[in-house]
Amino acid sequence: MSYRLQIVHEATGEWSLHGLPGSPVVQLGSLSASFDFARRECGAAPATIELMVDGFYAVIHQECGWPRRLVAVAHDNTLAEPAELAAEPRASGLRGWVGEWGKAS
C-alpha cells in the first residue's frame, strides 16, 4: 500500500496532516512532529507527501521504511562554516554569500 499525504503550514502556525486512513485531519505543533506522526501511522509504508508552506509547494517521495531524512533538528541557531570561509568578510544579504563557486561581488 502507498499513501498520499499532505502536510500544510496553517496561518495559525500549526501543521495539519491530511490523508491518513481513519483521520481526516490531524493538527500538530511542528513540521518534524508531522513527519514523525505520519511515518508512525503509515507504518513507514511508501508515501507521496505534498508539503505546503506559505506558498511553497514540494512533493516528497518516501520509499518503504522512509529512508530520507526530511527534517533536521538544530541544536542551536548558528550555522557551522568551514574555517576558511568563516574568516572571509561578507556583506549582509545574499550578495555577500561565499559559495563553492567563488566569492560574491
The DSSP result for 28-97, as a single string, is ESSHHHHHHHHHHHTTT--EEEEEEETTEEEEEEE-TT--S------SSS-----HHHHTS---SSGGG-
Residue range 4-25: average pLDDT? 93
- Whether residue 84 is predicted with pLDDT greater than 70 in this model: the reply is no
pLDDT digits (tens, 9 = 90+) for 57-81: 999 999 999 988 877 666 555 555 5
Return the pLDDT at 93: 43
The residue with greater pLDDT, 63 or 86, is 63
The model's pTM is 0.67
